[in-house]
Amino acid sequence: MSHSHRWVLYGFVLVFVLVFVTACGGGGQQQTQQPASQPSPPTTEQPAQPPAPAQSEEEQLIARGQYLATSIGCTACHSADGTTLVGPTWKGLYGHEVTVILPDGTETTVIADEEYLRESILNPNAKITKGFQANLMPIYEGQLNEDDLKALIEYIKSLSGEHSHE
């Protein structure tokens, strides 16, 4: 191989190396364009709830009173169907006459209005229903809050057997 051929060969090698380095080292600047971040999908609207069957405030109270009467335990002694248990039935109680014995032994007649129901629940011994024993019913004074008391009274009222909605 002549000297001139050898230089040509070196030239090729040099060019080759330069091209190689440029191709590998210089390519690093290319920026890959990030795809624009997707906007979060719009929150899917909840389908509107079908309207609950309209229940009046009174009906809600009655339902709550009925639930409380069972959960507190009133129904162990009081029926809603006329059956006499340990205590008088609540059926037909509200708005009707009740014969009671006062603490001094006097027998008298009262109308079972809201005030009477309230007193009978909070302080059962204030007026003992004739034919029933005193001191059997627990004293609920301080045990029931006003809302529960109202619900229970409303429930008992609903058992009056009359459709007198004031």
- Separation of alpha carbons 66 and 153, rounded Å: 10
DSSP summary character for residue 79: -
- Separation of alpha carbons 104 and 106, rounded Å: 6
Among residues 87, 151, 158, 159, the one that binds ligand HEC under rule CB under 6 A: 87
Nearer Cβ to ligand HEC (9/134):
134
Minimum separation from the CB atom of position 125 to ligand HEC (A): 6
- Separation of alpha carbons 116 and 103, rounded Å: 15
- Separation of alpha carbons 69 and 78, rounded Å: 9
Minimum separation from the CB atom of position 99 to ligand HEC (A): 9
x-or-dash pattern for ligand HEC, window 93-132, by CB under 6 A? Answer: x----x-------------x----x--xx--x---xx--x
x-or-dash pattern for ligand HEC, window 47-86, by CB under 6 A? Answer: -------------------------xxx-xxx-------x
- Listing from the earlier edge strand, what are the strands of the sheet with 107-111? 107-111, 97-101, 128-129
What does the block give as tokens for 147? 């809302």
Q: According to the binding rule CB under 6 A, does residue 157 interact with ligand HEC?
A: no
Q: According to the binding rule CB under 6 A, does residue 11 interact with ligand HEC?
A: no
